[in-house]
Amino acid sequence: MTIDAFPRGFASDNFAGVHPRIMEAMAACNHGHAMAYGDDPITAGAKAAFNRAFGQRVTAHFVFNGTAANVLSLMAFQKSYGAVLCSDLAHLWNDESTAPDRQLGMRLIPLRTMDGKIDPAALEEALGKGHGVHGVHPVALTLTQPTEVGTLYTLEEMRTLTALAKRHGLGVHVDGARLGSAMAATGLSLKEMLVESGVDVVSFGGTKQGMLCGEAVVFLTPGIGEAFPYWQKHSMQLASKMRFISAQFEALLAEDLWIHNGRHANAMAHRLLEAVRSVPNVDIAFPSQANSVFARIPTPWLKPLQEATFFWPWDERAGLVRWMCAWDTAPQDIDRFVQTLKTFAAETRS
């Protein structure tokens, strides 16, 4: 059956296809039988690959999607009277529906951000509120790297926030759905950015970084998340044919493919950024430090631009849009889109 390909656009890295090396890895393990539910050598190999990537022994588990990865990561700190502190722009707060509330049974408390990053003063303020047993008790802090608006926490910023959280006894989680873009941009190792900063658990992205499906929950702190297999089964996230998710992660981690993919996506976003800077009526909204560009454009441009090259508005009423690049974004995609933008700008002036 032949299916016409959906044109590459700038809506989401979720729209991208599967990297050929990952597809090859899935095909290579598609023979014979293997133990189910992760008791197979391919899954063991993928877990060993995570140990090498983090430069120490970690505990990796594989789930189907990002919502599960984020929510089940936070199960490590779950208390019925607890709360999770997050960015007011966090995916967990804005895009996971009621899954966190339902599965965790805890309250999410959004914190003020600056360019998408949690303001340390806002975190300190939230941790300083005291109502004793009458108030909700913060038990965890979740950070997103890169942030939802394509900015990056510096190493110093990461350490400041995690240290503050640790002083108050909180666990620390990082949503790393696009972690490869962060690593490519900063040049840091996972050990430097996450382990040595005091992060306890990370949602390690697969789908947005070139996989067909699958995300990893990686516990960095020994003794945390030991009951994860029970949470995983309870939440319907235990794959029977786990080898097909594991094979993808083996390929993604091999020769740092995930960082290579992030570096390419970042480069395409930078190309887009430089090209649109000079276009009239296009104003850059946030620093573009990873694989996305946020801009404000005239609202009459939105629908016709989407018809030409699809993307999502971030705030349609304000004309705020997000243009997201992926591992397979090509220079000609950007050149074509920018030419359309320039045409709109010229028509607006005339």
Q: Where are the beta strands (DSSP E) in 177-287?
A: 201-204, 215-219, 283-284
In a domain, 284, yes or no: yes
Cβ neighbors of 229 (< 8 A, separation 6 or more) are 61, 238
| 195: number of Cβ within 10 Å | 18
CA distance 52 to 328: 26
Q: For residue 5, with 0-12 CB atoms within 10 Å meaning exposed, 13-18 middle and 19 or more buried, which class applies?
A: exposed
pLDDT in tens, the chain (350 residues): 455 567 899 999 999 999 999 999 999 999 999 999 999 999 999 999 999 999 999 999 999 999 999 999 999 999 999 999 999 999 999 999 999 999 999 999 999 999 999 999 999 999 998 778 888 999 999 999 999 999 999 999 999 999 999 999 999 999 999 999 999 999 999 999 999 999 999 999 999 999 999 999 999 999 999 999 999 999 999 999 999 999 999 999 999 999 999 999 999 999 999 999 999 999 999 999 999 999 999 999 999 999 999 999 999 999 999 999 999 999 999 999 999 999 988 887 75
**Do both 239 and 95 map to the same domain?**
yes
Bridge-based pairing of strands 82-87 and 137-144 is: parallel
**Do both 198 and 345 map to the same domain?**
no
SS3 content of the chain, % helix, strand, coil (to 5): 45, 15, 35
Using the 3D structure, point to which of 256, 271, 299 is the last residue of a domain: 256
**Do both 214 and 285 map to the same domain?**
no
In a domain, 52, yes or no: yes
Q: Where are the beta strands (DSSP E) in 74-152?
A: 82-87, 107-111, 113-114, 117-118, 137-144
**Do both 54 and 111 map to the same domain?**
yes
Verdict on whether the full-model pTM lies above 0.85 = yes
pLDDT computed for residue 134 by the predictor: 87
**Do both 290 and 146 map to the same domain?**
no
**Do both 150 and 223 map to the same domain?**
yes
pLDDT computed for residue 350 by the predictor: 58
In a domain, 297, yes or no: yes
In a domain, 333, yes or no: yes
**Do both 57 and 132 map to the same domain?**
yes
If one counts the domains in the chain, the total is 2
**Do both 247 and 270 map to the same domain?**
no
pLDDT computed for residue 5 by the predictor: 67
Using the 3D structure, point to which of 234, 256, 278 is the last residue of a domain: 256
**Do both 337 and 226 map to the same domain?**
no
**Do both 244 and 283 map to the same domain?**
no
Domain hosting 301: range is: 258-349
CATH number for the domain that contains residue 290: 3.90.1150.10
CATH number for the domain that contains residue 78: 3.40.640.10
In a domain, 175, yes or no: yes
**Do both 229 and 285 map to the same domain?**
no
pLDDT computed for residue 2 by the predictor: 53
In a domain, 135, yes or no: yes
DSSP per-residue codes, 244-258: HHHHHHHHHHGGGHH
**Do both 91 and 181 map to the same domain?**
yes
Using the 3D structure, point to which of 227, 256, 285 is the last residue of a domain: 256
Strand, coil or helix: 19:
coil
First to last CA, the chain: 47
In a domain, 50, yes or no: yes
In a domain, 109, yes or no: yes
C-alpha closest to that of 251 among 17, 23, 53, 66: 23
